[in-house]
A and B are shown apart, each in its own frame.
Chain A
Amino acid sequence: MSVATTTAIERFTARASEEGLLDVAYTRTDSPFGPLLLAKTPRGLVRVGLPNQDADELLVDLATRLSPRVLEAPGELDEVRRELDLYFEGKLDSFDLPLDWRLSGGFRQRVLRAINRIPYGQTRSYTEMARKAGNERAVRAAGTACGSNPIPLVVPCHRVLRTGGALGGYGGGLPMKQALLELEGVLDESPGS
């Protein structure tokens, strides 16, 4: 693509933002675990795509579920990227970002909001999350809610473990969950723990 066209696209994206036409802004960014997809709406951060997830599929999903006005606009996600970078460096223990919860409804959203209150460096069980969300017996559903977390890392579903301390599952793969818990000082950095 020519430089003139690239510049024209950048100007277009800036104007789309000024005119309130940017329903979903996204960018791709690097992390110690691989590339992340970050997407936000005017309400807040709506989606974090982990390295093992297909970013293009996630964008199609956002276009279908939120709005097809989806544009790459890295500047819109500067603050999200800054806080994530600090977090990965171990220099940030609490995100201060507006969140858009729209991709999760009902019980799932209540579980995720409860997860969002687990402090840095601590863990909870799926059972506790089910109880906090108002239905202690729905442990399996609480697990599903964790697994479908649209805003991983920032909404710290990696801090939810099985009763007894087994890791459980993680959308980004168990090695990533383990590494995040090591970063937060919850687990010792010994493989196979």
Chain B
Amino acid sequence: MTALPPFQTVLDEHSAAVMAVLRGAVGRDGAEDCFQETFLAALRAYPKLEDSRNLRGWLLTIAHRKAIDHHRANGRKPTPVADPAELATADRLPEPDDGLWNAVGALPPKQRAAVALRYGSDLPHAEIAAALGCTPEAARRSLHEGLKRLRKELA
């Protein structure tokens, strides 16, 4: 097991990415609160974290859970800003509603993060891969598996 670095190092290295993703997911106003909730939850769980190899992915997964909580609490739907041409292509989700976000929340972490980053934050595959610390191919696979599962659950 790799030793956990001081939490300040985690904060310094990943706070900008977490803030950027949260702004995309909940907007500028909600991002600050979600940021606090994300890092407090992370700090609480940190000493028991067993795998420190992908701290960014771990943080972004927590951030997306907090973003989903935020949307639920506000009864609002996220409003992804996407390229219309891209929205017209195949891998498109129906309009998000509560049931959908619940289903997203129930996905395994990697798939959940990939789906949330793609459709909540509108990140392209390469950036999802960077955020999760995996290859674009693996990101694409997580996204694909996540969508397949969502379709099945919501069918």
Which of the 9-residue segments A2-10, A128-136, A143-151, A179-187 touches chain B? A2-10
What's the tally of chain A residues with a CB closer than 8 Å to chain B? 25
> B3 on the interface (CB 8 Å rule)?
yes
> A86 on the interface (CB 8 Å rule)?
no
Residues on B with C-beta less than 8 A from A62 are 6
- Within the complex, what minimum Cβ distance (angstroms) separates B33 from chain A? 9
> A43 on the interface (CB 8 Å rule)?
no
- A8, A26, A69: the one contacting B35 at CB < 8 Å is A8
Q: Is the CB of B19 within 8 A of A60?
A: no
Which of the 9-residue segments B36-44, B64-72, B96-104 touches chain A? B36-44
- The residue in chain B whose Cβ has the minimal distance to the Cβ of A67 is B47
Contacts A15-B36, A15-B40, A69-B43 known; A9 to B11 CB distance under 8 Å? yes
Interface residue ranges of A13-31 to B (CB < 8 Å): 15-16, 19, 21, 24, 26
Residues on B with C-beta less than 8 A from A193 are none
> A59 on the interface (CB 8 Å rule)?
yes
> A166 on the interface (CB 8 Å rule)?
no
- Within the complex, what minimum Cβ distance (angstroms) separates A64 from chain B? 5
Residues on A with C-beta less than 8 A from B36 are 8, 11-12, 15
Q: Is the CB of B40 within 8 A of A16?
A: yes
In the complex, given contacts A5-B15, A68-B7, what are 12 additional A-B residue pairs having Cβ atoms less than 8 angstroms apart? A1-B15, A8-B15, A8-B19, A8-B32, A8-B36, A9-B11, A59-B8, A59-B9, A63-B4, A63-B6, A67-B47, A71-B7
Could you list which residues of chain A lie within 8 angstroms of chain B, going by C-beta atoms? 1-2, 4-5, 8-9, 11-12, 15-16, 19, 21, 24, 26, 59-60, 62-64, 67-72
15 A–B pairs (Cβ distance < 8 Å), ordered by A: A2-B19, A5-B35, A8-B15, A8-B19, A9-B11, A12-B36, A12-B40, A15-B36, A60-B5, A63-B3, A64-B3, A68-B6, A69-B43, A70-B8, A71-B6
Could you list which residues of chain B lie within 8 angstroms of chain A, going by C-beta atoms? 3-9, 11, 15-16, 19, 32, 35-36, 39-40, 43-44, 46-47
The 5 A-B pairs of least Cβ separation, nearest first, read A70-B6, A68-B4, A63-B6, A59-B6, A8-B35
